[in-house]
């Protein structure tokens, strides 16, 4: 395509754009006529362009290009969310064995994990397992399933507390055992 035809094409497209915008924002008969004229000129320009014929060689070489192996850079970890993600990945990656669904929590409070704070993994109870546990709890007369689960949890916590106290009592020396 020669430079003069490229310039006329650019000028034609600019004029068409100007005419269309002008017509859309304040329609009138004269502006509609200008748009139609510009479109006719564009159609004439398109019909005058010669389309090259495809050769058999080009048709065969139209295969998908192979993806090049470029080094993929990971995004910067500047934000708190990015730091959190990076820390969570490094602290919990490369576990071998049976796959269990876990989440990363704060090591002390067991709340949401914070960047640069101690963390640990906690096994997430699957909804089906939770439902099975609910089915094992017996309902007292007039008790809702939620109340029964709360009663069951408090009983479980009480059992754990009693076990812990027994372990402490077995392992701790009394004041009679001190030599001074």
Q: Is residue 19 within 8 Å of residue 31, measured between CB atoms?
A: yes
- The residues, ordered by sequence, that sit 6+ positions from 106 with a Cβ below 8 Å of its Cβ are 112, 113, 114, 117, 118, 119
pLDDT at res. 166: 87
The answer to whether 102 touches 121, Cβ cutoff 8 Å, is yes
Residue ranges per structural domain of the chain: 3-47, 82-91+99-124, 125-172
Percent helix, strand, coil in the chain (nearest 5)? 55, 5, 40
- pLDDT of res. 105: 82
pTM of the predicted model over 0.75: no
How many Å is the maximal CA-CA distance in the chain?
A: 112
The per-residue pLDDT for 4 is 67
pLDDT, mean over the chain = 76
Higher-confidence position of 116 and 144 = 144
Go through the chain and tell me how many residues it has.
Answer: 180
Confidence of residue 159 (pLDDT cuts 50, 70, 90): very high
pLDDT at 28: 93
pLDDT of amino acid 81: 61
Averaged pLDDT for residues 19-31: 92
Name which of 4-18, 71-85, 140-154 the model is least confident about. 71-85
**Which of 47-51, 96-100, 119-123, 159-163 shows the highest mean pLDDT?**
159-163
Percent of the chain with pLDDT over 90: 17
């Amino acid at each position: 395509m020669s430079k003069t035809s490229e310039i006329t094409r650019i000028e034609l497209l600019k004029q068409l754009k100007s005419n269309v915008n002008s017509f859309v924002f304040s329609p009138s008969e004269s502006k509609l006529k200008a748009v139609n004229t510009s479109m006719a000129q564009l159609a004439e320009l398109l019909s005058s362009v010669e389309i090259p014929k495809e050769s058999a060689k080009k048709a065969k070489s139209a295969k998908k290009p192979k993806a090049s192996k470029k080094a993929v850079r990971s995004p910067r970890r500047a934000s708190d969310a990015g730091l959190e993600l990076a820390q969570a990945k490094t602290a919990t990656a490369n576990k071998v064995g049976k796959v269990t669904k876990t989440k990363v929590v704060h090591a002390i409070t067991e709340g949401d994990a914070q960047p640069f704070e101690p963390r640990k993994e906690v096994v997430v109870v699957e909804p089906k397992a939770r439902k099975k546990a609910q089915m094992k709890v017996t309902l007292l007369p007039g008790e809702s399933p939620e109340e029964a689960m709360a009663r069951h949890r408090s009983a479980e916590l009480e059992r754990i507390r009693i076990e812990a106290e027994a372990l402490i009592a077995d392992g701790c020396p009394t004041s009679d055992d001190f030599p001074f």
